[in-house]
């Protein structure tokens, strides 16, 4: 149990991105001092939560010193300048090991930065290190990592969610002020919900996937993890925009995201998704969700009920499409060009041995499922049929958005569950993402905002969904939820067990 404590700002590691940036611009805080506080926090908390796979102290120190030199010149600087950021370890980083938490990529050091990483560096962000994840982003608890699980800072006997669990744990505990993960079926929003953070999946194509090691190419999207909605906007704006290296990247102007943060919800129609708010949602989560709806109604929003008839099929559709795409994407890990190589008598035996030894059980399960779904005689019956239902789901969402400006649901049907509780039952684990998967299938943006704690002191969150390129409206409603909930609790692991530097 962990009842949480009020947020503290006596330690720089507990600041928001906006708060730290303001302090550095005033000259009250140096970037190297902020990085020192974050690394001091990591020195104590990593033994408890295992958020990081790699801490890049040298590279981070050089970036922080460069930020201080920029601050000294008085030139206008962006909101991420000098801010310590955690990166999920499926984002390629030049000169820094990138493993996807898989033994098949142990020791792999990319010769280039992902586009999103290059943009972070250009924005002045200080990359602290690479964080743990479910292997190749396949999981909902970070227990599928090839390098051991991460733990939830609110209760270290529980999972931080997944697959971006390491990044979420790092931001929650203060070993980074913000982070980036990837969201294929909820892998940013669900760990954000379980760790008491804001987590956001942008419209598909808003952030380049170049250099994001692919799991399911039509579903993957890079998104921010932050302590506030405003911080999430800053993180997203730094990396969003067209990239000629990514054929699915959206051309044109990035939607305005900050200008309506203070506009409130008066006059907006907020649609409650019937299929995502009933059976299977824990009573504490349901009660908190209804309480937030009451607050939104009191603030002037019109609450309407909407139906997404295909939502109950989302799990089935996802677990045909995503494994099919991963079976194709992971074919490149064959022991020939990079990563693990297990020597054998023939090339075929070498490839088979390398993949058997390098991939964990969940990755093997999904590759086999995807290969079967794509095989002759089954393609139309399984993968083809799933794509047809995906199209129907897009139609359902489009109809719902004619009735409401945004749609809402709980982010996760439960709060953080115990380590090992669901590992023996993959289907139960898959249902952790029942509320988040639909927006990956449609490509629409969605965000998770923490709203309170359950009786065990574990975070509960509220999900807002919007039409494609509707980020301005999405952040507007999310900011209103944040103001109404006044959630400021932090895990005690971050505040009472760690001395100030």
CA–CA gap between residue 453 and residue 465 (Å, rounded): 22
**Tokens 């030049």, located at residue:** 94
Q: Is 187 a catalytic residue?
A: yes
Which one from 101, 145, 187, 461 is the annotated catalytic residue? 187
Q: Is 163 a catalytic residue?
A: yes
Helix 57-73 to helix 17-26 angle (10° resolution) is: 50
Question: Which string of DSSP letters, residue by residue, matches 119-157?
Answer: HHHHTT-EEEEEE--SGGG--SSSTT-TT----BTTBTT
Which one from 88, 164, 175, 327 is the annotated catalytic residue? 88
Q: Please say whether the beta carbons of 17 and 226 come within 8 A.
A: yes
Which one from 140, 141, 145, 163 is the annotated catalytic residue? 163
The secondary structure of residue 281, as a DSSP letter, is S
Q: Which of 201, 202, 133 is nearest to 167 (CA)?
A: 133
For residue 496, CA distances in Å to 13, 358, 387, 460 come to 13, 39, 50, 22
- With 0-12 CB in 10 A as exposed, 13-18 as middle and 19+ as buried, what is 28? exposed
CA–CA gap between residue 169 and residue 344 (Å, rounded): 40
Give me 49's structure tokens: 């939560």
Distance of CA 46 to the CA centre of its chain: 20
Annotated active-site positions, please? 88, 163, 187
């Amino acid at each position: 149990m962990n009842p949480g404590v009020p947020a503290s700002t006596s330690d720089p590691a507990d600041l928001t991105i906006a708060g730290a940036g303001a302090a550095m611009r005033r000259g009250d805080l140096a970037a190297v001092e902020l990085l020192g506080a974050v690394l001091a926090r990591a020195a104590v908390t990593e033994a408890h939560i295992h958020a990081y796979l790699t801490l890049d102290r040298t590279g981070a120190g050089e970036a922080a010193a460069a930020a201080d030199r920029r601050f000294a010149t008085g030139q206008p600087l962006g909101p991420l300048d000098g801010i310590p950021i955690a990166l999920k370890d499926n984002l390629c980083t030049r000169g820094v090991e990138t493993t996807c938490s898989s033994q098949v990529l142990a020791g792999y050091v990319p010769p280039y930065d992902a586009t999103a990483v290059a943009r972070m560096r250009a924005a002045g962000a200080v990359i602290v290190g690479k964080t743990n994840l479910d292997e190749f982003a396949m999981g909902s608890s970070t227990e599928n990592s090839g390098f051991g699980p991460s733990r939830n800072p609110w209760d270290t006997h529980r999972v931080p969610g997944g697959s971006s669990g390491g990044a979420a744990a790092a931001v929650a505990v203060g070993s980074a002020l913000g982070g980036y993960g990837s969201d294929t079926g909820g892998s940013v929003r669900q760990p954000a919900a379980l760790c008491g953070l804001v987590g956001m999946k942008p419209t598909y194509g808003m952030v380049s996937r170049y250099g994001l090691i692919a799991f399911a190419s039509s579903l993957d999207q890079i998104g921010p993890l932050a302590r506030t909605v405003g911080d999430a906007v800053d993180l997203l704006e730094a990396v969003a925009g067209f990239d000629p290296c990514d054929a699915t990247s959206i051309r044109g102007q990035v939607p305005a995201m900050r200008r309506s943060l203070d506009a409130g919800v008066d006059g907006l129609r907020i649609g409650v998704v019937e299929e995502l708010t009933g059976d299977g949602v824990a009573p504490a989560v349901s009660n908190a969700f209804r309480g937030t709806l009451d607050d939104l109604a009191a603030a002037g929003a019109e609450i309407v009920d909407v139906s997404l008839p295909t939502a109950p099929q989302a799990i089935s559709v996802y677990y045909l499409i995503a494994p099919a795409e991963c079976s194709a994407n992971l074919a490149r890990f064959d022991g020939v060009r990079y990563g693990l190589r297990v020597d054998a008598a023939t090339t075929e035996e070498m490839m088979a041995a390398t993949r058997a030894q390098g991939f964990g059980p969940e990755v093997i399960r999904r590759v086999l499922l995807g290969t079967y779904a794509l095989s002759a005689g089954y393609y139309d019956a399984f993968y083809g049929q799933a794509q047809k239902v995906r199209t129907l789901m897009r139609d359902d969402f489009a109809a719902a958005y004619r009735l409401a400006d945004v749609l809402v649901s709980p982010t996760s049907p439960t709060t953080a569950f115990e380590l090992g509780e669901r590992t023996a039952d993959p289907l139960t684990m898959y249902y952790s993402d029942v509320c988040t998967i639909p927006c990956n299938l449609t490509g629409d943006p969605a965000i998770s905002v923490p709203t309170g704690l359950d009786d065990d002191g574990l975070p509960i969150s509220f999900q807002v969904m919007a039409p494609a390129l509707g980020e301005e409206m999405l952040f507007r409603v999310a900011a209103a939820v944040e103001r109404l909930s006044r959630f400021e609790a932090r895990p005690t692991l971050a505040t009472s067990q760690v001395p100030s530097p």
